[in-house]
Amino acid sequence: MTVETAPASASPAPADQPPRRGLGRRLLDGYLYAGPVTLTVLAFVCGAVVGAVMMVVADPATRSALGYFLAAPGDTFSNGWHAISAGYSALFRGALFNTDSLYSNGGAPIFGPIANTLAYATPLILGGLAVGVAFRAGLFNIGVQGQLIMGAICAGLVGFDVDLPPVIHLVAALLAGIAGGAGWGGLTGWLKARTGAHEVITTIMLNYVALYFLNYLLNVSGFQKPKTNEAVSKPVSGDARLPHLFGANLPVHLDLLIALGAAAGVWWLLTRSTLGFSLRAIGANQNAARTAGMNVERGYLVVMLISGALAGLVGCSQALGARAGGFDNSVDANLGFDAITVALLGQASPWGTVLAGLFFGALNAGRVVMNASTSTPSDVVNVMEAVIVLFIAAPALVRSIFRLRQARGGSRVSALAKGWNG
């Protein structure tokens, strides 16, 4: 921490003189005493830099130019720069806006990229909320995978095996999915409350149980697609499918609104309700909460029911939306684990999770186009996501890289990352 003389100000006084701070100084302080926003932005910067390095390394032209680096170093840099700009511009085109859609309409609607982003983001938001809400009560729910599978099974069963009138059918299927996920999550909460079994262990094991249960069901008539031997479920009947929001050409379903509604609900729960207050108190310090007269065991059960219900909605989003034509045993699509990174990036706050989900959704939608139009492997995006979350979870690392000072007041992120071993 070197002390610098402020360049513009007239007084050569030490830097921590409290009154009369100029705009530049205030900006600098805002940066140096990194708040959560600064830290997040810097984590993104780190992720982008690592991504750029990987794009360069993965680019065949750059690698071959590196072979004769001393003869013509310019080639290495120009090829590397092309790889980076091609990669990031393709990410942008896939995630937000493709300029081609202005000139031709070869199957590329203007809102296509945004719609893809939203479609990828929706289950991530719901899953991130599921992890995040458990998180605030001090529980680490790794079981979103299993809970969403149970949700998908229940939603699917109602969707293709029960005959109901149009709107009621969809609502019933959604409720079944929520119930399936909540039941599976509640089981973990009940085990924790009654026996003290660690939720990390029970959720991991229940993930396996749910997955193999689905494997079994996929070969049982009544669940399996008829007239086939494929391990694929029946297609969900038309009136139990989540309707498209913006026409059949854009893959945005009603589950986007459900996800936003769920975010609002979780926000209300955590910040405005008595239950949410006691959940947060349990998360902050369960002993103190118990001393204060709160029922910690009931809190565990309730929060896992809520978390599981949200995970069940992820299952609905898959079974009644993206995979309504019949789902196989990959219905979880790794969403259960991506949800953890989303919750971390969103710092377990509902609206932060929405933003984080949108961001990861955009990366996923961009990844597809980047893959198709450049030689950059899609793993680059996965590494970028991982790096960003790594830096978010370890703010001290970001501070030491960018030589920042300790934040004023505690950071919730680091507390979260440490609070998981209880």
Partner 1 sequence: MSIVPVPGPLARTSATVAGVAALALALAACGSKPGGGGGGSSSSSASSSSSSAAAGGATSSSSSAAAGGGFTACMVLDTGGIDDHSFNQTSWAGMTAARQQNPKISISYVPSQSANDYTPNLNAEVSKGCSTTVAVGGLMADAVKAVAKKNPSKHFAEVDAPSSGPNVYGMQFNTAQGAFLGGYLAAAYSKSGKVATWGGLAIPPVTIYMDGFWEGVQYYNKKNGKHVQVLGWNEKNQKGGSFSQSFTDKNKGKQISQTFVQQGADVLFPVAGGAGEGALSAAQAFGGKVVVMWVDTDGCVSEASYCKYILTSVTKNLSGAVQQYVTQAASGAFPTGNYLGTLANRGTGLASFHDFAGKVPQSLQSQLRQVGLGIATGKIKITSPNQPK
Residues numbered 352-371 forming contacts with partner 1, rule: CB under 8 A: 365, 368-369, 371
297, 193 contact by CB (below 8 A): yes
Cα 330–336–338 angle (5° rounding)? 105
Least separation, in Å, of the C-beta of 372 and partner 1?
4
The reply on whether position 205 binds partner 1 by CB under 8 A is: no
User: What are the residues whose beta carbons fall under 8 Å from the beta carbon of 86, sequence distance 6 or more?
Assistant: 373, 374, 376
- The one segment of 75-83, 131-139, 160-168, 352-360 that binds partner 1 by CB under 8 A: 75-83
Token pair in block for residue 199: 């939720």
Task: Choose, by CB under 8 A, the member of 47, 51, 94, 315 that binds partner 1.
Answer: 94
The reply on whether position 249 binds partner 1 by CB under 8 A is: yes
In the complex with partner 1, the residue whose CB is nearer, 368 or 416, is 368
Compute the distance between CA of residue 114 and CA of residue 399 in angstroms, rounded to an integer: 34
For partner 1, what does the binding mask look like between residues 163 and 182, x meaning CB under 8 A? --------------------
123, 317 contact by CB (below 8 A): yes
For partner 1, what does the binding mask look like between residues 105 and 134, x meaning CB under 8 A? -xxx---x---x--xx--------------
> From the centroid of its chain, how far is CA 266?
16
Report how many residues bind partner 1 under the rule CB under 8 A. 79
In the complex with partner 1, the residue whose CB is nearer, 15 or 201, is 15
The reply on whether position 96 binds partner 1 by CB under 8 A is: no
Compute the distance between CA of residue 322 and CA of residue 330 in angstroms, rounded to an integer: 12
Residue carrying the six token digits 């109901």:
164
The reply on whether position 16 binds partner 1 by CB under 8 A is: no
Residues numbered 382-421 forming contacts with partner 1, rule: CB under 8 A: 401-403
Residues numbered 289-348 forming contacts with partner 1, rule: CB under 8 A: 318, 322-323, 325-328, 330-331, 333-334
The reply on whether position 80 binds partner 1 by CB under 8 A is: yes
In the complex with partner 1, the residue whose CB is nearer, 296 or 368, is 368
In the complex with partner 1, the residue whose CB is nearer, 12 or 74, is 74
Residue carrying the six token digits 């092309």:
82
Compute the distance between CA of residue 252 and CA of residue 255 in angstroms, rounded to an integer: 8
User: What CA–CA distances, in Å, run from 165 to 172, 239, 240, 254, 414?
Assistant: 10, 8, 9, 18, 49
User: What are the residues whose beta carbons fall under 8 Å from the beta carbon of 134, sequence distance 6 or more?
Assistant: 140, 141, 199, 303, 304, 306, 307
Compute the distance between CA of residue 225 and CA of residue 237 in angstroms, rounded to an integer: 12
Looking at residue 324, its amino acid is A
The reply on whether position 9 binds partner 1 by CB under 8 A is: no
The reply on whether position 259 binds partner 1 by CB under 8 A is: no
Taking Cα atoms as reference points, which of 413, 381, 310 lies closest to residue 52?
A: 381
Task: Choose, by CB under 8 A, the member of 10, 16, 104, 409 that binds partner 1.
Answer: 104
The reply on whether position 28 binds partner 1 by CB under 8 A is: yes
In the complex with partner 1, the residue whose CB is nearer, 62 or 203, is 62
The reply on whether position 33 binds partner 1 by CB under 8 A is: no
Taking Cα atoms as reference points, which of 274, 337, 282 lies closest to residue 145?
A: 337
The reply on whether position 251 binds partner 1 by CB under 8 A is: yes
Least separation, in Å, of the C-beta of 332 and partner 1?
8
User: What are the residues whose beta carbons fall under 8 Å from the beta carbon of 119, sequence distance 6 or more?
Assistant: 251, 252, 253, 322, 361, 365
Task: Choose, by CB under 8 A, the member of 10, 11, 37, 103 that binds partner 1.
Answer: 103
Task: Choose, by CB under 8 A, the member of 85, 271, 273, 406 that binds partner 1.
Answer: 85
The reply on whether position 11 binds partner 1 by CB under 8 A is: no
Least separation, in Å, of the C-beta of 407 and partner 1?
17
In the complex with partner 1, the residue whose CB is nearer, 7 or 293, is 7
Q: Is 299 helix (H, G, I), strand (E, B) or coil?
A: helix
Task: Choose, by CB under 8 A, the member of 34, 51, 79, 350 that binds partner 1.
Answer: 79
Compute the distance between CA of residue 53 and CA of residue 366 in angstroms, rounded to an integer: 18
